[in-house]
A and B are shown apart, each in its own frame.
Chain A
Amino acid sequence: MTSMEIKTGSAPSSRSGGDDSGALLDVRDLHVEFHTRDGVVKAVNGVNYNVSSGETLAVLGESGSGKSVTAQAIMGIVDMPPGKIPQGEILFRGQDMLKMSNEERRKIRGSKIAMIFQDALSSLNPVLSVGYQLGEMFRVHEGMSRKQAKAKAVELMERVKIPAAKDRVNDFPHQFSGGMRQRIMIAMALALEPDLIIADEPTTALDVTVQAQVMDLLAELQQEYNMGLILITHDLGVVADVADKIAVMYAGRIVETAPVHELYKRPAHPYTRGLLDSIPRLDQKGQELYAIKGLPPNLLHVPSGCPFNPRCPKAQDICRTEVPPLVPVTEQDGTDLPGRGSACHFWEETIHG
């Protein structure tokens, strides 16, 4: 029932003028749950977002907010069982991927939508050379011979700026440094020139200097191929650097959507505000940091009403009983703020007050 309202909230977020059909990927009212011995874990509860070609959407959230599960659902790699998608649509170029056969999805996965995982060391197979793993894409999807595939692998490694690619193509993952391994992951995702890349915390395991290299490379390649990019992260700094628009997730819901500049300037949800305020600032040295009290909720027992209410400084009775829908955010005088939405009963006070 709330899905319609949510839809109106996130519909105008496509940059190219609010036309939904232009979106490359459109996730609508997605629910994912896991049936465990302790009960049903509702990991994703009605998520809506869309990405167009050449656009970067950052999905921001803490651990357990459902940001990675959403990505896995898009890729079709949620373990089922125990996972289950009871509701929702994932439209890729207008086609609902959840209704496709496994064979059809296989064709999209890797060649149209690719994913970069967080931990490159555990995502690469340690007993196969990187050249073999890179070439696998070409052998499986395009039926190339081993020799052709290896030549392609070298080409890819050069494209992601791995030095001496020809000599290193037969090396194994453990022989590369963390930054280089992440480049190999990127190369693998790029192999078939997909339309959309989902990067799940691509730089969390890396040092800042290497992180800067990898993010730059990713941005450069995205521009070159005009790909859509979904960047999943918890790092507010990385988001500010690369994103076009942001979706903030909390307890399996999107609590706020906004273009990047707007979000940092005027957050419209108390959770986003809390996150931004808890970053150490230069002018607050020596003072106590602002901290969001309490802990992220246990997804087995999500609090009733707004899931953020036990931690929210603004919580009132309505917050404990009614789930706030994601509604469009407007200026004080009622003018539309394109792309902005907030799932808070008191968004007006939060943004304007």
Chain B
Amino acid sequence: MAELNKAEAAEPADETPNVSEVDAVDAATETEAVAAIEASVERGEPILQVRNLVKHFPLTQGILFKRQIGAVKAVDGISFDLHQGETLGIVGESGCGKSTVAKLLMMLEQATAGEIFYKGQDITKLSGRALKAVRRNIQMVFQDPYTSLNPRMTVGDIIGEPFEIHPEAAPKGSRRQKVQDLLDVVGLNPEYINRYPHQFSGGQRQRIGIARGLALNPEIIICDEPVSALDVSVQAQVINLMEKLQDEFNLSYLFIAHDLSIVRHISDRVGVMYLGKMAEIGSDQSIYDHPTHPYTQALLSAVPVPDPEAREGRERIILTGDVPSPANPPSGCRFRTRCWKAQDKCAQEEPLLAVPERFKSSDSPVAHESACHFAEEKDVVHAA
């Protein structure tokens, strides 16, 4: 267990430069990068900075002579920061690009444009050894615990596989012990090391997925709908485990989900995505109690509240229609086709993600970034 604990987990991160990190990276080839990382950590900057991230998937026509006839604009200019030890929740409907963001951050997809700074270093420009070194620190937990574990590998092989790729993380002789420690950390019996995934239930499998994500002592874990495939009574167990691990290892989470109540529970800040854009971003309190973007208001008011007393008095905003195709998004504000406030300005001018002018001087949580021309506060959660 002591081995697992990172050096910096014990002390505040911004005081000591990332010692174990620096050791792990092949120092001879990466001196420059290391210097940049050290500098950025000393300044107390966000661990991850995303700037104008864009991902377009080309649509092609023709078999022999493929030509591009358009693009699915899955992610179209997204910016956010992630700080050490923080949880950033990303919510949005299916097709809004939240999973693509996860893949871009993992460098599983090459971004069309934009930058992702990990401790001041743009990882979209990296390749080879340098990229491999960065990847060690950004790990992922997938949505479906049934398909994200190889059925032909034992649990020990699954959790130990990261060590094969990054042999410097654990010497060969100690790997079995490390895997057993990891199983213990996520609340599974270390004796299960030789079992296969099918011998476990959904919740236990998700714990295996989390153990695999933790194996390399990452600093950032990207969780793409980690509990949505689980039963209600098991969801709470996994959420508690993730919170415990965050405290223990000082992890930063990017938590992608569509269940708004769970996102609120676990997140420090929340970003709302719509059709490849960030509609609104702010602290959990400002998003849930003081939403200013009409889409956020509609989304929050549509969530069924597990309290029958609330059903009569609650004002619900029911959106009409479906999300437009990201291959051909509406001009101007992307939400305008479903928005009840839409005016001519919304079709012509794209609203930028910024703190609305009228709230700038306000100290209350209402002053947060919102991409709407007509941002207005409306409390939809507590409305009676």
Contacts and interface: CB of A to CB of B under 8 A. Distances in A.
B265 interface: yes
B189 to A, nearest CB: 13
A132 B318 CA distance: 30
A207 B232 contact: no
Contacts of A237: 303-306
Contacts of A208: 93, 258, 260, 299, 302-304
B233 A292 contact: yes
A141 to B, nearest CB: 31
A180 interface: yes
Given A179-B322, A234-B231, A280-B265, A209 B237 contact: no
Interface stretch (A72-80, A104-112, A271-279): A271-279
A216 interface: yes
Given A276-B306, A295-B203, A209 B93 contact: yes
A220 B262 CA distance: 30
Nearest to B260: A208
B236 A289 contact: yes
A285 interface: yes
A54 interface: no
A234 B323 CA distance: 26
B210 to A, nearest CB: 15
Interface stretch (B169-177, B308-316, B340-348): B308-316
Contacts of A282: 264
Given A207-B258, A278-B236, A289-B239, A235 B319 contact: no
B240 interface: yes
Interface string A207-222: 1111111011000000
Contacts of A225: none
Contact of A285 (B239, B260, B264, B306): B264
B233 A241 contact: no
A304 interface: no
Contact of B236 (A234, A291, A311): A291
Nearest to B95: A207
B307 interface: yes
Contacts of A291: 233-234, 236-237, 240
Nearest to B382: A282
Nearest to B243: A288
Contacts of B322: 177, 179-180, 210
Nearest to A311: B233
B311 A241 contact: yes
Nearest to B261: A280
Chain A CB within 10 A, most for which of B203, B262, B308: B308
A240 B304 contact: yes
A194 B305 CA distance: 29
A261 B308 contact: yes
Contact of A292 (B236, B265, B306, B319): B236
Nearest to B235: A278
A41 interface: no
Contacts of A178: 94
A238 B321 CA distance: 20
A49 B320 CA distance: 36
A63 interface: yes
B311 to A, nearest CB: 5
B298 interface: yes
Contacts of B204: 295
B262 to A, nearest CB: 6
B374 to A, nearest CB: 19
Contacts of B261: 279-280
A301 to B, nearest CB: 14
Interface in B203-248: 203-204, 231-237, 239-240, 243
Contact of B93 (A63, A207, A274, A275): A207
B201 interface: yes
Interface in A221-245: 234-241, 243
Contacts of B323: 177
B265 A285 contact: yes
Contact of A289 (B240, B304, B311, B319): B240
Given A216-B318, A291-B237, A295-B201, A62 B232 contact: yes
A304 to B, nearest CB: 21
Nearest to B325: A177
Contact of A261 (B231, B232, B260, B309): B309
A290 B298 CA distance: 29
Given A235-B304, A285-B265, 9 more contacts: A63-B231, A207-B94, A211-B302, A212-B316, A213-B319, A237-B304, A237-B305, A280-B239, A280-B264
Interface of A: 62-63, 163, 177-180, 207-213, 215-216, 234-241, 243, 260-261, 264, 274-276, 278-280, 282, 284-285, 288-293, 295-296, 311
Would you list the 3 A-B pairs with minimal beta carbon distance, nearest first? A237-B304, A280-B265, A291-B236
14 contacts: A208-B93, A208-B258, A210-B93, A212-B318, A213-B319, A238-B304, A241-B311, A261-B308, A264-B307, A264-B309, A291-B233, A292-B236, A293-B237, A295-B204
